[in-house]
Amino acid sequence: MADLRLPRFNKVFISGRIGNDLELKFTPKGTPVMRFVVACDRGYKDDSGEWQTATSWIDCVAWTYQAEQLEKNARKGSAVLVEGRLETRTWTDQNNATRKQTEVTADFIHFLEWKDRQDGSAPTSEDAPLPSEESRSSAATTNDDVPF
């Protein structure tokens, strides 16, 4: 049988609101880490045709720079877009049972709303995230560039 060539990628995008109080922790080697939950809503029609909302609570973890930025720029209830990958941890608990947890490891966290400063002043342009390459290139496009 020939070797099957499969694409290998693991990419997740979730958006929602942070569902827990944030606490920055550190590993024994001093690496910043933050575990958090994102509440993602989806609408659906029930059997009677009425719209309902279902919420998924998705476990996430942020490391190093992402964890520090999360502590600095977000709080419980903040709207975020998390870009990352699924990872599964396995460990043995104190009752000698094997436990397993799948979570999103954040590669990037995009903050979807402004956070007011504690001193009451409005955010400045220095606080704004740098525009992505995609948004910079689309901003340079005018209607004259569109072929239709």
Q: What is the mean pLDDT of residues 32-47?
A: 95
Q: How do residues 66-85 score in pLDDT, each as one tens digit? A: 999 999 999 999 999 999 99
Intra-chain end-to-end CA distance of the chain, in Å? 49
Q: Tell me what pLDDT residue 8 has.
A: 86
Chain mean pLDDT for the chain: 82
pLDDT confidence tier of residue 141, bands split at 50, 70 and 90:
very low
Burial 31-62 (b: 16+ CB within 10 A, else e): ebebebbbeeeeeeeeeeeeeeeeeeebebbb
Per-residue confidence (pLDDT) for residue 7, from 0 to 100: 85
Name all domains of the chain by residue range, CATH numbers in brackets.
12-117 (2.40.50.140)
**Whole-model pTM over 0.85:** no
